[in-house]
Amino acid sequence: MNAKIIGTGWELPAYEADNDYLSTIMETSDEWITERTGIRKRHLAKEETTTSLAAGAAGKALKASGLKAEQIDLLIVATITSDTETPSTACRVQAELGAVNAVAFDINAACSGFLYAIHTADAFIKSGIYKNVLLVGAETLSKLVDWTDRSTCVLFGDGAGAAVLTAAEQGGVTAQAIGSDGSRWEVLSCMGRSNHNPICQEQAEAGFLQMNGQEVFKFAIKTVPQCIEEALKQAGISPEEVTCFLLHQANKRIIQSVAKRLKQPEDKFPMNIDQCANTSAASLPILLAQMDEQGRLHPGDRLVLSGFGAGLTWGACVLEW
């Protein structure tokens, strides 16, 4: 049995901050951000939370799938910005939806989180343990970025995307290539609380996201084409046979570089980075759900989903719509 997507949904916070607005609060410009990244604006959570965005997207995906909340066996939220350290965002989404029969937990694989979630769902579906799985990628990165560091804060946005997968004899996820390299964790990190037990002198302090942008850029343009090629090889198809490549929306120049490396036309690489910026684990499911809503996905289409992020982590999967 393969894991097949039968419903998608997305949700973005109401408030939008464009590049011109950011240029009024820090030394940056619309020209710099647009040229270097392709980002024009991002949605930032004012009233919304990771949980509310996740539940909103998940509810829409569930409705589109035609399943009832009680039919969901497994509910995974990919996030690095859970509202609570514990419980998981997944448990709170489960409560919001009334998915009373689901096993619920979060995955922390940063921007690769949704691919790790697909990987996990596929394994549970293939093994026959679970039939119906609800996956969500949800983030409020705006609470993690350092708003005094213009080289990172302009890149990120908040939002959530979701997909319901079910066991199917044909189509669905046909191949995956996924990996991690913990030895390079310092390239992109967010330090948690420091030790603050009674025998330590240190003060507890919250950390912000820190990134070596150029290292991440080099890692992405090398690793993403490699893992896509590996997944395509497993699926036994060529890049030419792929209908479209949905890549993590981190930087337009990274996506263009991957298209070039795969010798595929850029129009096979849909983007929403100009509207949403980098929403980390939410980026792929938001793009997928928006394309689904716009009627741009058709039965039999061959899609590649691929991403990369902190960890370092990466992944690609091939699926038939």
Residues near ligand UT7 (CB under 6 A) are: 28, 32-33, 36-37, 111, 150-151, 154, 211, 213-214, 216-217, 250-251, 278, 309
Contact between 233 and 220 (Cβ < 8 Å) = no
At closest approach, how far in Å is the CB of 96 from ligand UT7? 27
Set 43, 248, 276, 317: catalytic member: 248
132 has catalytic annotation: no
Tell which residue, 57, 18, 59, 55, has the closest CA to residue 39. 18
At closest approach, how far in Å is the CB of 28 from ligand UT7? 3
43 has catalytic annotation: no
Question: 316 in helix, strand or coil?
Answer: strand
Of 67 and 221, nearer to ligand UT7 (C-beta) is 221
Set 91, 111, 244, 276: catalytic member: 111
At closest approach, how far in Å is the CB of 188 from ligand UT7? 6
Of 213 and 239, nearer to ligand UT7 (C-beta) is 213
Of 111 and 121, nearer to ligand UT7 (C-beta) is 111
What is the number of other CB atoms lying within 10 angstroms of the CB of residue 15?
14
Computed on alpha carbons and rounded to an integer, the radius of gyration of the chain in Å comes to 19
Burial status of residue 109 (CB atoms within 10 A of its CB: 0-12, 13-18, 19 or more): buried
- Per the structure block, which two tokens stand in for 154? 């302009």
Where is 104: in which H helix or E strand? strand 103-107
Contact between 235 and 175 (Cβ < 8 Å) = yes
The Cα–Cα gap between 155 and 278 comes to 6
Of 220 and 244, nearer to ligand UT7 (C-beta) is 220
- The pairing of strands 41-43 and 16-18 is antiparallel
Residue nearest to ligand UT7 (CB): 213
Of 35 and 205, nearer to ligand UT7 (C-beta) is 35
At closest approach, how far in Å is the CB of 221 from ligand UT7? 9
Vertex 73, ends 67 and 248: CA angle to 5°? Answer: 80
Question: End-to-end distance of the chain based on CA atoms, in angstroms?
Answer: 15
At closest approach, how far in Å is the CB of 141 from ligand UT7? 9
Contact between 285 and 60 (Cβ < 8 Å) = no
Vertex 74, ends 71 and 77: CA angle to 5°? Answer: 125
The Cα–Cα gap between 281 and 108 comes to 9
Set 153, 251, 278, 317: catalytic member: 278
The Cα–Cα gap between 111 and 299 comes to 27
At closest approach, how far in Å is the CB of 270 from ligand UT7? 17
The Cα–Cα gap between 236 and 223 comes to 20
At closest approach, how far in Å is the CB of 268 from ligand UT7? 20
Q: Which are the catalytic amino acids?
A: 111, 248, 278
